[in-house]
Chain A
Amino acid sequence: VLGSLSRRDRAATRTGQTREAAFGARLVDSLPGLRRYAIALAGEVSLADDLVQSCCERAWERRHALQDPARLGAWLRAILTNLHTDEMRRRKRQPGEPLEEAALDTDPALSRRASAGEALDMQRALRRLSDDHRAVLLLVGVEQLSYAEAADALEVPVGTVMSRLARARAALRLALDGEALPGGAQPAASAS
Chain B
Amino acid sequence: MSAAWPDETVIGAFLDGELSPEERAAVERAIADHAELAQHVARLRADQAALSRSCAGLAPGPIPRRLIEAARHPPVPASARLRRRRLLWAGGGAVAVAAGLGAVLLTPGGTGDPLVRQALAARSTLPGGAHRLEEPSIGAADAALGAHFGRRVRIPDLAPEGYRLAALALWGNGDRRAAQARYEAPDRPPFTIYLASPRGRDAFALEERPSLRICVWENTDLATVMAADLSRAALFRLASLAYVAMTT
| Interchain CB contact under 8 A, B75 and A110 | no
Given known A-B contacts A31-B63, A65-B159, A166-B12, A147 and B18 have beta carbons under 8 A apart:
yes
* CB < 8 Å neighbour of B55 from A53, A66, A142: A142
User: When the two chains form the complex, which single residue of B9, B53, B140, B157 contacts A61, counting CB atoms closer than 8 Å?
Assistant: B157
Given A118-B53, A147-B16, are A31 and B71 neighbors across the interface (CB < 8 Å)? yes
Instruction: Give complex CA distance A152, B140 in Å.
Output: 7
Q: List residues of A (37-55) whose CB comes within 8 Å of B's CBs.
A: 37, 39-40, 45, 49, 52-53
Which of B43, B51, B72 meets A142, CB within 8 Å?
B51
- Interface bin, chain A: 35 or more
Within 8 Å of chain A (Cβ to Cβ): is B139?
A: yes
SS class of chain B's interface: helix, strand, loop or mixed? Answer: helix
Answer whether residue B52 sits at the interface, using C-beta atoms and an 8 A cutoff.
yes
Chain A positions within 8 Å of B, measured between CB atoms, are: 20, 24-25, 27-28, 30-32, 35-37, 39-40, 45, 49, 52-53, 56-57, 60-67, 78, 108-110, 112-113, 116, 118-120, 122-123, 126, 137-138, 140-142, 146-147, 152-153, 155, 162-163, 165-166, 169-170, 172-173, 176
List chain B positions with a Cβ less than 8 A from chain A. 8-9, 11-13, 16, 18, 43-44, 47-48, 50-61, 63-64, 66-68, 70-75, 135, 137-140, 142-143, 146, 157, 159-160, 164-165
Besides the contacts A31-B68, A36-B58, A109-B60, what 20 more A-B pairs have beta carbons closer than 8 Å?
A28-B71, A31-B71, A40-B58, A49-B64, A56-B70, A60-B73, A61-B74, A61-B75, A61-B159, A64-B159, A65-B137, A65-B138, A65-B139, A78-B139, A122-B54, A142-B55, A152-B139, A166-B12, A169-B8, A169-B47
